[in-house]
Amino acid sequence: MMMPSTEGMVPVLDQSRVSYTPGVAGIMVTARGSSRTLIDRLDLDVEYVKGSGSELAHRLDNARPVVVIHSDLDARALLAGLERNAGLEHLIILSDPAVHGTSARMPSVVPIDTCAPSTERRLVRSLRRLETEVRDFAHQRPDVTLTVLRFASLLGDPGPMSRHLFLHVVPSILGFDPRLQFLHIDDAALTIRHTLTTRPHGTFNIAAPGQTYLSRAIRLGRRRHLPLPEPIFRRLDLPGHLVDLFKHGRVVEPTPPTFGYSPGRTCRESLIDFYGG
């Protein structure tokens, strides 16, 4: 089933919104469009806040869970402001497994605390900085429940990975077939809902159970596969951390049972939903 598509047109899955106990609202700090579609899936009384870190910190209400979506804003100023917010009980940080980095010497199944040596990718560097600062924050404010969620490549959002996989002809690096993990955007939304209700404390990698090779994902979507030599592939309009991912791939350890939730769709079901939806 081939759907007409051009770059930038990604299927926005038409499914009912995820219901959530009313009365509790999340405040989102967002700068990335893709994250906004994720939060929109939740039936929440959401207030989107934009601005610089220090401005935001002042505007956040007391006693409401706060979701921080990683963006280019000044995380240090925001966290410094939040530290003074006495009513804050729950802080959720949306990070990315890209924080692990990629390298030929990474273990095949990456444990939660393993990182490749320093990398020059902008996103990876800023994510690492954010997570370090969040850890300092947790040290200063032990009364705040802190949840760091690292979502695997989201399917169904307008992010670069979804856009790339939805092309008619999907380029990859010649000679490399990375192992990838995905997460359906609805499962991601459900994970956030679970986090808001149960308030688990800690850092968690969230990915659909299972993993797949890029070539198999492309075949599952009945797309054409176009392996390009690495120098040419690097010229494509893809963020640097994705270029690395397309070379070495990454599979993270499954979420521990202490988190209390695991995505309902497997990796393959997520892909089928993504391509069929």
Partner 1 sequence: MEELLDRLTARELRSLARALEVRGRSRMTKGDLVGAVARALRDGDRTHSAIPEAPTCRFTIRPGVSCGLPVVPPTEVCALHGGTDSSDVIVPALGRLGFDTWPTLLRHLLTGSYDVDPLGLDPVVAEMAWHVLNYLYRDYFHVTVSGIDHVPLSGPAILAANHGGAALPYDGLMLPLCVANEAVVPRRVRVAGTEILNMLPTISHLYRKAGATYASPDDGRWVLDHGHLLGVFPEGVRGFQKPVTESYQLKEFGTGFVRLAHESDAPIVPVAIKGSEEVHPALFTSKRLARLVRLFFPEQRVDEIGVWLNPIPNPVHWFVHFLPPIPPPSDRLAILEVTEQVRGTIQRELDDMVNGSDS
Closest CB to partner 1 among residues 164, 250:
250
DSSP track, 147-179: EEEEE-EEESSSSHHHHHHTSSEEEEETT---E
Determine the angle formed by the axes of helices 122-140 and 75-84, rounding to 10 degrees: 10
The rounded distance, in Å, linking the Cα atoms of 87 and 262 is 30
Question: Given the complex with partner 1, which of 12 and 109 has the nearer CB atom?
Answer: 109
> What is the nearest approach in angstroms of partner 1 to the Cβ of residue 110?
8
Residues with Cβ < 8 Å from 209, sequence gap 6 or more?
A: 254, 262, 263, 266, 267
CA distance 181 to 151: 10
Q: Which is nearer to partner 1, 42 or 207 (CB)?
A: 207
DSSP state of 252: B
To partner 1, the closest distance from the beta carbon of 268 in angstroms equals 7
Task: Give the number of other Cβ atoms within 10 Å of residue 175's Cβ.
Answer: 9
Nearer to partner 1 among residue 71 and residue 181 (C-beta)? 181
Give the shortest CB-262-to-partner 1 separation in angstroms: 15
Q: Rank residues 85 and 172 by Cβ distance to partner 1 and give the closer one.
A: 172
Q: Shortest Cβ distance from residue 147 to partner 1 (Å)?
A: 24
SS3 240: helix
Q: At its nearest, how many Å lie between partner 1 and the CB of residue 250?
A: 11
At closest approach, how far in Å is the CB of 215 from partner 1?
8
Which tokens is 11 given?
A: 């299927």
Which chain residues interact with partner 1 by CB under 8 A? 103-111, 114, 174-179, 210-213, 216, 219-220, 248, 251, 266-268
- Of the pair 183, 251, the CB lying nearest partner 1 is at 251
